[in-house]
Amino acid sequence: MSELLPAAIAPRLRQSTGAAGRSALAALDQLLVVLPHAPGAAAWQRVPEGARLRRQLQQLGKPGKCGMLRSRLGGTADTGVTVACLPDPRQQQDTAFARLKWAGEAMTEALGSRPRTLGILVAGLPAGQAAAIAQALLLAAGAAAFQLPDYRRKPEPTSRLRSVQLLGLDTMLDLRRTQAEIEAANLVRWLTALPPNKLTAASYHGLVAQLSEHHDWSLRFLDRAALRRLGAGAFLAVAQGNGEPDPGAGILHLSRRPRGNTRPDVALVGKGIIFDTGGTNLKPFRSMLDMHHDMSGSAVALATLLAMTRLDLPLAVDCWLAISENRSGPQAYKPRDVVQAANGSTIEVIHTDAEGRMVLADTLALASREKPRIIIDYATLTGQCINALTDRYSGVFTNRPALNEVLVAAGRASGERVWPFPMDEDFDEELRSQVADVLQCSVDNEGDHILAARFLQRFVPPAQPWVHVDLSAATRKKALGQVPAGPTGFGVRLTLNLLLDRQDSLAAHLPPQRRDT
């Protein structure tokens, strides 16, 4: 597999039922014990050496409050133990995001000694709550144990975690799905963090080609010559400033067709601007510094396809990755240029730093030709969305207003929270051009996240259900939920929740599922 991919992407997850025996505990480097906020005697009885650990926690002076204790179990194995009590339910709502956030904090404590093997024991909680907490802890362990690219001669020491064992849980969890979600989110984080001289258009193409061969996806690359034949002038306007060798900028089209079906159920579209200078309208230094993150939408689309493949879902999937740089130079596109997109619409360019909507316009138009039941696109598209929501949420937009409630529910359940924005037709007044069918963006930039979505909608036929995710939470300087600071992998779990856990709610707003005969 490509040298650009991480050697290890997630620890192995395991689960055993029944009481945690001495031999199982001896095989662990570290045990994380999770208890209610005010654990009673029955909860402590399920904990190895519970009486001693209870006394130690009481000695901290917080016998009835949320606490965190580090200790060691007796015996020759000398297994480390971290005891973590849940927050007071009277002071914190039990939401998916709150559970993930707490799990991330607890996991930081548990992994402080850099164990190779970790056990998790949840005691004293109802079965449903215990299962939810355990899953959050598994997700947190997968995120905390993952090492982002590090090119120092002596990299910082990181967690050595290789396996996580759930102990004594009465409910069997879907570890296969949790493992797939961890691996997919970590792949997004890894690709987003790669330096721009490592993840070039050519190396990205090579990486995707190897994944495609390994997972039996079909792959088609639409290079600049092919895009010219397709009339994709919006994408080409951005790409014409690149100085990359072949294969260079282009659109990668991946297809997964299980059970012989040839029609896509879902199309995943990702913005893959691998570095964004702003083009002719050059960004200032601080705004340009982390613009290698501008390809994270494509990473989300690719990793979601990978997760769906690992889970062997019976869904036919198209994945479209719009890969280019946005560079300045004598060939770069300019304000007031007029270009024609693949659907025939003409676009008047206003600001060359609004390149994401340009490459997505043609990619959405091409994806729509395959007539999937739904298109979902992902993009770090606008600073206005960050201004509106901060980097804790991401914005969602759709041409099916009834889907907004389903999207919000998927965000709440997955812990990847989203918020919908209006898509009223009168916003189009700000995009009227005197010389073309549409302005690329407005001069004033007010409500640009909404105007960008209204612009993109023009390249999706009205009969085609479509969701646009503006990834304002793609990266964060502080932790987000269970994920440490940096790239978050936001979008994978949201999408899987939408497609798997909300099938009926989603299907109510989509055309009937089609199968070849």
Residues whose CB is less than 8 angstroms from the CB of residue 213 and which lie 6 or more positions away in sequence, other chains included: none
| Candidates 256, 357, 417, 458; catalytic one | 357
Give the number of other CB atoms < 10 A from CB of residue 56: 16
Cα dihedral 323, 327, 332, 337 sign: positive
Q: What pairs with residue 376 in β-bridges?
A: 268, 467
Tokens 């396809």 locate to: 305
Scanning the structure block, which residue is given the tokens 């194995």? Answer: 77
Catalytic residue among 70, 177, 283, 310: 283
Question: Residue for token digits 């079965």?
Answer: 127
CA distances from 69 to 74, 109, 470 (A): 16, 9, 40
Q: Report the candidate in 65, 56, 31, 60 with the shortest Cα–Cα distance to residue 46.
A: 31
Is 283 one of the annotated active-site residues of the chain?
A: yes
Tokens coding 158: 């990181």
Helix (H, G, I), strand (E, B) or coil at 420: strand
Question: Cβ–Cβ contacts within 10 Å for residue 129, how many?
Answer: 16
- Residues 362 and 235: beta-carbon distance below 8 Å: yes
- Give 257: exposed, middle or buried? Use CB within 10 Å, 0-12, 13-18, 19+: middle
Helices (H), 46-126: 50-59, 96-110
Is 357 labeled as catalytic in the residue annotation? yes
The pair of three-digit structure tokens given for residue 483, joined into one six-digit string: 């994920």
Instruction: Kindly list the catalytic residues.
Output: 283, 357
